[in-house]
Amino acid sequence: MKFPWLYDLVSAFRGLSRRDLLCRRMKVRNSGRYLKLSKHIKGKGNLLEIGSGSMIHGLKIHVVGNNNRLILGSNCSVGPHCSFWIEGNNCTIRIGAGTTFTHTVHLCAQEEGMSILVGEDCMFANRITVRTSDSHPIYDLKSGLRINPPRSVEIGRHVWIAPGAKIFKGASVGANSIIGSDAVVTGVIPENSLAVGAPCRVVKQEVSWSREGLY
């Protein structure tokens, strides 16, 4: 084919292909049911993998760098105005099976070797940000050394993240926990915890939650 990148782009938009699609910048493995996405890719050796039964209703994928991985598990749902960004080399965004994003969720794995790992059956509401970096360096004036290195983020299985939450570099959220609206998470939240506030703090432990609607 004269323009292989064009076939890759059209197939990703329509969700038509069930085989590997290989282009110069990104390899796409699509087993999703419905795909509506846009891609900006700069680099080589990158992989986008969309699991069986997943549905994407409007996702912007931005990858700048080499040998990065963006893996969406089976039966996930991504609502409109979401964006998954990778800037750096050897970075990973991995979303577990059955995880859902309502709308306007931004994940950014930035700087060398960073990762955002999300477990199965998580529920992201809207206007949520998850980042591994501050995007710009901060230096100590006396030593000249950088004082804000990046750190990976990990979110366990069956975590509910409420609207407006921000989960920053180095954060770790344990399985079955709930992160309240507009919370700012920078540290470790234990399993089965309800955590709220900015900075986020645990207000109750030994809790769980379900997806059933209260209406």
Residue 136 bears catalytic tag: yes
Catalytic residue among 40, 62, 103, 136: 136
Tokens of 63: 């990858």
- Going from the C-alpha of 52 to that of each of 18, 37, 65, 79, 118, the distances in angstroms are 10, 16, 27, 17, 17
Strand 46-50 and strand 69-72: pairing?
A: parallel
Evaluate the CA torsion angle 109, 49, 128, 199 in order and state its sign. Answer: negative
H or E segment and range at residue 72: strand 69-72
Contact status, residue 73 vs residue 95, Cβ threshold 8 Å: yes
Contact status, residue 180 vs residue 164, Cβ threshold 8 Å: no
Contact status, residue 179 vs residue 195, Cβ threshold 8 Å: yes
Alpha carbons within 13 A on the beta-carbon side of 105: 23
Catalytic machinery residues: 136
